């Protein structure tokens, strides 16, 4: 019997990535596949909270086991900012502006440690579980690289000489915070269903 789960996203790249990882025993559906065409709200003060809010909403409205993710960049010297506000840190969704604001706030600071965090929440009958992925690194003083998106050009992962914007997507997907969280989710699904 094939079990169906909704991944609360319409990002087809994310959907395809998870489909490839779970194999044929689990069917992954997008929001569009289940008839959900609205923008899911993210009103919580934490990454964990936003992930939970989206998964709970889809499960309660569409009655299908669901998982949702949320991610952000947390900079130690900025007390965890931009965090849950990563996508709109500068007041807009323009990542050049967001990057510029992070670099401005870090000017003159020696502690440039940061990490990317993804939290995936699974909500199903009698199950509510979160899976976290963290990629540690540091923030450079200027952008490097053309690949990736978001804060990738200023993020140097621990143990690497290249930013996330300088490595291939294949390599990024092996080490990323999202990949780590997805791996934990898939191990749970495969061992429990």
Residues 105-157 have pLDDT tens digits of 999 999 999 999 999 999 999 999 999 999 999 999 999 999 878 999 999 99
Q: Which whole number is the average pLDDT over 20-44?
A: 88
CA nearest 79: which of 56, 101, 111?
111
Model confidence at 24, in pLDDT bands (50, 70, 90)? confident
What confidence score (pLDDT) does residue 1 get? 65
Residues 86-98 have pLDDT tens digits of 999 999 989 999 9
Q: Give the whole-angstrom CA distance, residue 28 versus residue 15.
A: 7
Q: Give the whole-angstrom CA distance, residue 174 versus residue 81.
A: 25
Q: Give the whole-angstrom CA distance, residue 139 versus residue 98.
A: 13
Query: What are 48's two structure tokens?
Result: 């964990």
Could you tell me which residues come within 8 angstroms of residue 17 by beta carbon, excluding any fewer than 6 positions away?
Answer: 173, 182
Q: Tokens 């440690």: give the residue.
A: 113
Q: Give the whole-angstrom CA distance, residue 40 versus residue 128.
A: 18
For the entire predicted model, the pTM comes to 0.90
Locate all alpha helices (DSSP H) within the chain, ordered by sequence: 12-22, 47-62, 95-106, 169-175, 177-192
Query: What are 172's two structure tokens?
Result: 């990024």
- Percent of the chain residues topping a pLDDT of 90: 75
CA nearest 36: which of 16, 6, 65?
6
What confidence score (pLDDT) does residue 17 get? 76
β-strands 155-157, 127-139 pairing: antiparallel
Mean pLDDT value across the chain = 92
Q: Where are the beta strands (DSSP E) in 93-126?
A: 113-124
If you ran DSSP here, which 8-state letter would residue 82 be given?
B
| Position with higher pLDDT, 18 vs 125 | 125
Model confidence at 193, in pLDDT bands (50, 70, 90)? low
Residues 38-53 have pLDDT tens digits of 989 999 999 999 999 9
> In the sheet that 66-75 helps form, which strands lie side by side, from edge to edge?
26-29, 3-7, 66-75, 113-124, 127-139, 155-157
Q: Give the whole-angstrom CA distance, residue 95 versus residue 47.
A: 18
How is the chain split into domains, by residue range? 3-192
Query: Looking at the domain that runs over 3-192, which CATH code has it been given?
Result: 3.90.950.10
Residues 165-185 have pLDDT tens digits of 999 888 888 899 988 999 999
Q: Catalytic site residues?
A: 70
């Amino acid at each position: 019997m094939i079990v169906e789960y909704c991944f609360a996203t319409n990002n087809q790249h994310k959907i395809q990535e998870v489909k490839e990882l779970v194999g044929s025993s689990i069917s992954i559906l997008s929001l569009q596949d289940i008839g959900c065409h609205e923008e899911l709200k993210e009103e919580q003060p934490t990454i964990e909270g936003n992930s939970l809010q989206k998964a709970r909403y889809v499960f309660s409205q569409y009655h299908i086991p669901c998982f949702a993710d949320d991610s952000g960049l947390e900079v130690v010297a900025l007390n965890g900012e931009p965090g849950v506000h990563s996508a709109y840190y500068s007041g807009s969704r323009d990542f050049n502006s967001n990057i510029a604001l992070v670099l401005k706030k870090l000017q003159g600071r020696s502690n440039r440690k940061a990490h990317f965090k993804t939290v995936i929440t699974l909500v199903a009958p009698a199950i509510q579980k979160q899976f976290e992925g963290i990629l540690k690194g540091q923030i450079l003083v200027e952008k490097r690289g053309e690949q990736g998106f978001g804060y990738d050009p200023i993020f140097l992962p621990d143990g690497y000489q290249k930013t996330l914007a300088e490595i291939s997507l294949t390599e990024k997907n092996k080490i990323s915070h999202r990949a780590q969280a997805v791996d934990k989710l898939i191990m749970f699904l495969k061992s429990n269903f």
